[in-house]
Structure 1
Amino acid sequence: MATKKTEGTEKKEGGSKLALAAALVGAAATGFYLYGAKGTENRKKIKAWTLKAKGEVLEQFEKKKELTEEQYNEVVDKITTKYGKLKTVGEEESSKLNKELKRHWSAIKKSIK
């Protein structure tokens, strides 16, 4: 990972790149979902909890300097399980979001490199 020397100290710059990459992938996926071919239909279906859950996933990645697929899946599982326990969401909807978020790993991995 790249390091930056500043008057005798070293700083790692990878964490901010990772957070930016994750945010860009999330924004692109959300943009396509809302404004793609079936955007009008999807905007009617979208629920506030999905956006909040995606935001929580992104927050977790901002704290990490490096990210593996295993770590990504653990965070996604933890957050979607939490929302699945809510009566207003349910396990079925939570499971759909879990699968959707996990499908984005390959794009996130490419943007990290």
Structure 2
Amino acid sequence: MPKKAKPKKSSLGTAVGIGVGIAAATAAAYLLFGPEGKKNRKAISSLSVKIKGDIIEKFEKVKEITEPIYYEIVDEVSKKYSKLKNVDKDELEAVVNDLKSNWKEIIKDAKTTKNKKQS
């Protein structure tokens, strides 16, 4: 009996997944070790770590991260946390504003990292 050929999995999906992972890791690295990293490390609380973790999970489900999609994900996650009683609204707002203001740096660093990985 001849063997059946197995269909090849999409390498595009794998590449996109790797790109999203690189972008998420770059975003976290920029926030912790960028120009204002020392200040950011002091400000990080368990809330911001949880929020960033949820955002990274959402990134992994998206094929391509664009600025509107990035803002939509940040808003969606922040709405979830704003409904919780034990969340400091000022801290939540500060984390969201920080994430939104770093969009350009996150993408710039992600592209640089992606180019280095492809070389």
TM-score by length of 1: 0.73
RMSD between aligned residues? 2.6
The correspondence for 2:26, drawn from 24, 27, 38, is: 24
Contact 2:81–2:87, Cα closer than 8 Å, also in 1? yes
Query: CA, structure 1 residues 65+55, in 2 after alignment: closer, same or farther (shift >3 Å)?
Result: same
Residue 14 of structure 1: aligned partner? 16
* Equivalent residues, number: 103
Structure possessing the higher radius of gyration over alpha carbons? 2
- 2:63 alignment counterpart: 65
Which of structure 1's runs of 4+ aligned residues deviate more than 4 A? 32-35
Residue 107 (structure 2) aligned to one of 97, 106, 109 = 109
Q: CA deviation at 1:47?
A: 2.0
Contact 1:83 1:90 in 2 (8 A): no
Tell me if the contact between 1:56 and 1:79 (Cα under 8 Å) persists in the aligned partners.
yes
Encode CA deviations 1:75-112: one digit per residue, 9 max, x unaligned: 10111122122222133221111111111211222224
Say if 1:107 and 1:32 are closer, same or farther in 2 by CA, change over 3 A.
closer
TM-aligned CA distance change 1:34 to 1:69, over 3 Å: closer
Q: Structure 1: any 5+ residue segments left out of the alignment?
A: 1-6
Secondary structure, aligned partner of 2:11: strand
**In structure 2, what is the Cα distance between the partners aligned to 1:73 and 1:58?**
13
- Relative to 1, partners in 2 of residues 1:104 and 1:52: Cα closer, same or farther, differing over 3 Å? same
Normalising by structure 2, report the TM-score: 0.70
Choose between structure 1 and 2 for higher RCO, CA contacts under 8 A separated by at least 6 residues.
2
Deviation at 1:33, TM superposition (A): 8.5
More strand by share: 1
